[in-house]
Amino acid sequence: MDGQRRIMAKFANANEEEIVGMRAPQLVLGGDEQFDGTDANRWLNEMDGQRRIMAKFANANEEEIVGMRAPQLVLGGDEQFDMMARAGFLYDNSMSVNPGVNGEPYWPQTLDYTVPWACYDAQCPTS
């Protein structure tokens, strides 16, 4: 975490603002040759590791970091969402949606329900 991000994270935490885990931008956990998104343990290592980094550098409690966003917004299907439930992440902010001009906002997308719109991403969760 570079200095500017550290300062921003500390400010957000001090003001009780939302801090969401997101891995380094060059890493993609789903949809590439390197990693096809089906390894829940890799998702856990990356996202929980990011949570620990944010807790350390933003002086936040790990238990309070309960949201995440997939790197490059590339979803990991059911494996990502199974990992999130097991690791104590309550919501995801990775899925794209176009609710239209008068549509209701969908975020944060909690794990309580399946997504209420047609998901066209190759790695959409199905359960």
Task: Tell me if 121 is assigned to some domain.
Answer: no
Q: Which domain holds residue 87?
A: 3-110
For 44-92, the pLDDT digits (tens) are: 888 888 888 888 877 788 888 888 888 877 888 888 888 999 999 888 8
Kindly state whether residue 34 falls inside one of the protein's structural domains. yes
pLDDT in tens, 25-34: 555 555 554 5
Helix axes 77-87, 40-58, angle to 10 degrees: 50
Q: What is the pTM of this model?
A: 0.69
Of 94, 21, 108, nearest in space to 57 by CA: 21
Asked, for residue 76, whether it belongs to a domain, the answer is yes
User: Does residue 117 fall inside a structural domain?
Assistant: no
- Predicted local distance difference test score (pLDDT) of residue 99: 67
Residue 7 scores a pLDDT above 50: no
Where residue 102 falls among pLDDT bands split at 50, 70, 90? confident
Looking at the 3D structure of the chain, how many domains does it have?
A: 1
CA gap 109, 93 in Å, rounded = 6
Buried b (16+ CB within 10 A) or exposed e, 35-49: bbbebbebbbebbbe
Asked if the structure places residue 77 within a domain, the reply is: yes
Express each pLDDT in 17-53 by its tens digit.
555 555 555 555 555 545 555 578 888 888 888 888 8
